[in-house]
Amino acid sequence: MKKILFYFLLLVSNDVMSQGTHAQTKIAPFFLFDTYYSFIGNRGADVWGFKAGITWNNKWKFGAGFNKIKSDIVEEKALPSDEVGYSIDDTVRSQLYLRYYPLMAEYTFYEKDDWQISSPLCLGYGRSYFEYFDKNNNRRSIYNHGVLISDIGINAQYKVLKWVGLGGGVGYRFMLVSNPEIDTDFSSMVYSIRIKVFLGEIMKTIFPDADFSLNKKKKIIR
């Protein structure tokens, strides 16, 4: 993990130095929907979520979002003592979930025509838990505990329309801090499909005379 952070810090410093002679800093908003396919404990797991933030100089994206993982793992779990009254039985059939809120930084190292290739790094806090239906058919969670997660990978994107792009990627999810009450390992390869909405292009179309980028003078770095 330290090597990954060093890699991103090196990219930041190199990009700042290379951009030092440019006259402007351009900042624009972005929003994207994420659908991931991954594994949890050698079983399939679907992920859905979204991310939003800013694009800096068409090279970096910084943002935050939400992801929820629904696994294919369904187990008979003994209810904790404080949950026994909510179910007819003291053992219930439950499904494993993970939800978390990632902070992201993504560097674009290739961009030509309508294609873009980038490398994202995410660090997120969330909770993993089993979910069951109680005697009133309401959803309840058990063995709920905080976790810390990191993702890194490679993404490719194609701009289909002026406002919308399609893309995909591959990466790896690291569990930095795991749930002590759940033995299943959430670390896994991840495969993503994404739909990106270009908020900047939408705003330019709606307000053609407005400038939504932040143009800021820079000092020349020698």
37 lies in some domain: yes
Q: What is the pLDDT of residues 163-195, one digit of tens each?
A: 888 888 999 999 999 999 999 888 989 888 777
58 lies in some domain: yes
57 lies in some domain: yes
89 lies in some domain: no
Overall pTM surpassing 0.85 (yes/no) = no
Q: What is the pLDDT of residues 82-119, one digit of tens each?
A: 999 899 999 999 999 999 999 999 999 998 888 989 99
Query: Does the pLDDT at position 217 exceed 80?
Result: no
192 lies in some domain: yes
Our measurement of the distance from residue 73's CA atom to the centroid of its chain's CA atoms, rounded to an integer in Å, reads 22
Distance, first Cα to last Cα, the chain: 32
Alpha carbons within 13 angstroms on the beta-carbon side of residue 173 total 30
136 lies in some domain: no
158-to-17, 43, 112 alpha-carbon distances in Å: 28, 30, 10
Give the closest residue to 24 by CA, choosing from 221, 215, 213, 219: 215
pLDDT, position 96: 95
| Widest pairwise Cα distance in the chain | 73
Alpha carbons within 13 angstroms on the beta-carbon side of residue 1 total 11
Give the closest residue to 11 by CA, choosing from 101, 3, 135, 40: 3
Average pLDDT over the chain, rounded to whole?
83
pLDDT, position 154: 94
Residue 216 host element (H or E): none
Phi-psi region of 17 (alpha: psi -120 to 50; beta: other; left: phi over 0): alpha
14 lies in some domain: no
Cα-only R_g, the chain: 21
| CB 151, CB 195: distance < 8 Å | no
Our measurement of the distance from residue 192's CA atom to the centroid of its chain's CA atoms, rounded to an integer in Å, reads 10
- Other Cβ atoms less than 10 A from the Cβ of 75: the count is 11
Instruction: Provide the number of structural domains found in the chain.
Output: 1
User: Residue 191 maps to which CATH number?
Assistant: 2.40.160.20
214 lies in some domain: no
Domain limits at 118? 28-71+102-130+144-206
Q: What is the pLDDT of residues 112-154, one digit of tens each?
A: 888 989 999 999 999 999 999 999 999 999 999 999 999 999 9
Query: Does the pLDDT at position 67 exceed 90?
Result: yes
